[in-house]
Amino acid sequence: MNGMTTMPAMVTLRHALGMDEPDPVTAGADDATRLACWMLNAIRPWPEAARNVMQALLMAHREGRIGSAEWRNLRSAAVALSDDRDAEVRAFGHVAEAAAWPLATARAGLVEMMQAICQLRAQQMARATGWTEEDEQAAHVILAEIEAGDGRMQPRREDIPALFMAANPALEKRFCVNLTAANAAFGAFKAEVAAWIAGAAR
């Protein structure tokens, strides 16, 4: 973020585009730090159970002055989230695990955060289509049975969709809707990150 973004013309353009105000705390920070903070902010609202950890991670990256013991505490808190019983909290926990390292020593840091958020977005999209954990389990049971075949021969990969449809047409139809939407959401976040990087490089 440079001084240009605080000029009145840029402020007006941001409003016209419905964009959030830039984070003044990360102004002047390196691209990796700004991108990490942007990614953590991009998944708001944070669930109540994850809020404190996500806020602490955001502050840790913004300020960049915490020590190894504090990073270790953040990792412990992140692991507790990703062991939660609630699937959405677990997905936020995976993001937190990825974010709980100082970027200066983490080649994997941003890639892991992006992948965890892609999965979070895919999961959120799947829920939005009405796909439930029970549906997921039912689909896994059917697919495992199909994969096992008749005990002598396994089906060809390309035959699996038709076999799924024969086993449970209603579930197969919803499975396809869910899969298409979730895959699109997964890929869309990657595209957002690429656009962010392209914008930062201009």
Partner 1 sequence: MPNVTTILPGHENRPETADPVSSEALQLLVFSATWCGPCRAMAPAIDDIAQDYAGDLVVVKIDIETSPDLAKEFDVRGVPTVITHRGGAIIDRHVGGMTRTRLALMIEDALKRGDAAE
DSSP labels for the chain?
--GGGGSHHHHHHHHHTTPPPP-GGGTT--HHHHHHHHHHHHTPSPPHHHHHHHHHHHHHHHH----HHHHHHHHHHHHHHHT-SSHHHHHHHHHHHHHSS-GGG-SSHHHHHHHHHHHHHHHHHHHHTT--HHHHHHHHHHHHHHHHTTSS-PPPGGGHHHHHHHH-HHHHHHHHHHHHHHHHHHHHHHHHHHHHHHHHH-
Residue 37 vs 99, nearer CB to partner 1: 99
Contacts with partner 1: how many residues (CB under 8 A)?
Answer: 17
Establish if 75 lies at the interface with partner 1 (CB under 8 A).
yes
Q: Which is nearer to partner 1, 61 or 172 (CB)?
A: 61
Q: Binding residue for partner 1 (CB under 8 A) from 105, 151, 153, 157?
A: 105
Q: In the complex with partner 1, which residue's Cβ is closer, 117 or 172?
A: 117
Give min distance, CB of 10 to partner 1, in A. Answer: 35
Task: Please report how close the Cβ of residue 18 comes to partner 1 at its closest, in angstroms.
Answer: 33
Contact footprint for partner 1 (CB under 8 A): 75, 78-79, 94, 97-98, 100-101, 105-109, 111-112, 115-116
